[in-house]
Amino acid sequence: MPAIILVGAQWGDEGKGKATDLLASRIDYVVKFNGGNNAGHTVVIGDEKYALHLLPSGILTPGVTPIISNGVVIDLEVLFGEISALASRGIDVSRLRVSANAHIITSYHRTLDKVTERFLGKRQIGTTGRGIGPSYADKINRVGIRVQDIFDEGILRQKVESALEVKNHLLVKIYNRRAITADEVVSELLSYADRLRPMVCDTSLELNNALDDDKIVLFEGGQATMLDVDHGTYPFVTSSNATSGGALTGSGVGPTRVDRVIAVVKAYTTRVGSGPFPTELFDESGEYLRAKGFEFGTTTGRPRRCGWYDAPIARYTTRINGVTDFVLTKLDVLTGLDQIPVCVAYDVDGTRVDEVPVNQSDFHHATPIYENFPGWTEDITGVRSFDELPANAQKYVLALEAMSGARFSAIGVGPARDAIVVRHDLV
Ligand code: GDP
Ligand code: IMO
Ligand code: MG
């Protein structure tokens, strides 16, 4: 089973980091294929807690080769900051490979991200402010800076100068900010060149060679299906393809090599930033989920919006990604609830709608139609097999499985690395 794709099923923070870590002992390569340091993955190993943003979570497992492929946008200061932080904790980062075609987040992307959000006022997206959107915009607009440009000062300067020509007009005349000089950008980027050079290669070639050699490659998605620029709740999305298709264009590996698509889904739903969220709770139940699930952003520390499980979203995720397996996380957070509502369909302006509506206004107007499931009170964090789960917890999982379109192969019962019930092997 050579290539496996792992994606988020909802609006992010489903526990993809932990799921990747679970599989990492059986894989050879882990690939971050989209996004940048907007991601925030928390992995708990024994007493140690790791927060990863730009590096894929699989880097924590000895023997795995981590790859940052062409679909990623890289903030070099963050990259080297994370590398040093991990190295100082004894993690081997020497095998890290970076695509020559990945794009760079420069200081003007970070500045533009922040000022455009401020300018949008109440209509803001609630971005992480890391420069992700402006960097992808430049990529699509064909004025981006790529990793390989850093090794040719002449080309780098020319590209930075032409990008800044328009951006400085915007910064000075529209946003009232100071102009950014090409010199400051170029010298900052060049300062990383010597450390970056040994890591850079044709990652598509390396990955395809590895697959030819029967190595196992895991593609670890950042963000999630509902934040995907094509399939998410546009414009309240990130600027990359976080879905399984993005793993292919984002890495230069073809679809015929993929055997399995795993979606990580929380036993309830959370979202950070603005945008529609039908099952969002504004009462004490929402507070309960936030406090018990510790739903605060790994990247920005913002409190996450919380709500019940949304089955039409899970079905949508199965369809968009071709999901073969779900990893259900945070079932333990629901312990102690008397009743657990699950959204089974929506009411859109008086009409029952069973699937995620394609029309943005309909989704904004969608109110959930709930079915209630009885809860359980037993502590499940020590449970390691499905049969040991309380009967109502089993029923809840099986009901979600029946509604979501693919089998639930693993169930998270706590933050720790081993707090998981495996029903079907994923690798
Ligand atoms: P990611 O962005 O999808 O990698 O997820 P985050 O790391 O941002 O958020 C998931 C959080 O849930 C992290 O703090 C994990 O340690 C934690 N977590 C993951 N799985 C479980 C689980 O099964 N139970 C509990 N209680 N916490 C979990
Ligand atoms: P992980 O990988 C949750 C959200 C932001 C904002 C929108 C656009 O940890 O699941 P951006 O900075 O990407 O332009 O912001 O996307 N967002 C995330 N929300 N988890 C993430 O990543 C996210 N990455 C971006 O909050 O609403
Ligand atoms: Mg996260």
Summarised one tens digit per residue, pLDDT across range 296-333 is: 988 888 999 999 999 999 999 999 999 999 999 999 99
Instruction: Specify the pLDDT at position 266.
Output: 98
Ligand 2 site-directed mutation target among 52, 228, 238, 277, most atoms within 8 Å of CB:
238
Q: Which pLDDT score, from 0 to 100, does residue 1 have?
A: 60
CATH class of 266-422: alpha beta
Per-residue pLDDT tens digits for 63-112: 999 999 999 999 999 999 999 999 999 999 999 999 999 999 999 999 99
How do residues 202-247 score in pLDDT, each as one tens digit?
Answer: 999 999 999 999 999 999 999 999 999 999 999 999 999 999 999 9
Candidate of 20, 38, 295 to mutate for ligand 2, largest count of ligand atoms within 8 Å of Cβ: 38
Ligand 2: list residues with CB < 6 Å: 8, 11-13, 38-41, 125-128, 130, 132-133, 222-224, 227, 238-239, 272-273
Tokens 């018990």 sit on residue: 292
Which pLDDT belongs to residue 407? 98
Domain chopping of the chain, boundaries: 3-99+199-262, 103-194, 266-422
Does 266-422 match 3-99+199-262 at the fold level?
A: no
The superfamily (CATH) of domain 103-194 is Adenylosuccinate Synthetase, subunit A, domain 2 (1.10.300.10)
Percentage of residues in the chain with pLDDT exceeding 70? 100
Q: What's the pLDDT at 247?
A: 98
Average pLDDT, the chain: 97
CATH class of segment(s) 3-99+199-262 = alpha beta
Q: In this model, does residue 382 exceed pLDDT 90?
A: yes
Q: Given a cut of 70, is residue 341 above it in pLDDT?
A: yes
